[in-house]
Structure 1
Amino acid sequence: MISIGIIGGSGYTGGELIRILLHHPEAKIDFVYSTTRAGKPLTTAHPDLQGGTEMTFAGTVNTNVDVVFLCLGHGNSTQFLKEHSFSAATKIIDLSNDFRLKADAKIDDKTFVYGLPELQRSVIREANHIANPGCFATAIQLALLPLAKEHLLGEEVHVNAVTGSTGAGVRPMETTHFSWRNNNVSWYKPFTHQHLGEIGESLRSLQPNASTPYFLPVRGNFARGIFATCYTRFDGSEAEAKALFDTFYKNAPFTQHVNRPIHLKQVTNTNQCHVHVHKHENVLLITSAIDNLLKGASGQAVQNMNLMFGFEETMGLNLKASLF
Structure 2
Amino acid sequence: MTQGSYVADKSSSGGEFNRDTSYITTRITSRTRGAEGGAAGGHYPVEAGRYRLVVARACPWANRAIIVRRLLGLEDALSIGFCGPTHDARSWTFDLDPDGLDPVLRIPRLQDAYFARDPNYPKGITVPAVVDVPTGAVVTNDFAQMTLDFSTEWTEFHRDGAPQLYPEPLRDEIDTVARRIYTEVNNGVYRCGFAGSQEAYDAAYDRLFTALDWLSERLATQRYLVGDTITEADVRLFTTLARFDPVYHGHFKCNRSKLAEMPVLWAYARDLFQTPGFGDTIDFVQIKQHYYIVHADINPTRIVPKGPELANWLTPHGRESLGGRPFGDGTPPGPTRESERVPPGHGAG
Verify same fold: TM over 0.5: no
TM-score between both structures, scaled by the size of structure 2: 0.29
**Structure with the higher fraction of residues in strand conformation:** 1
TM-score between both structures, scaled by the size of structure 1: 0.31
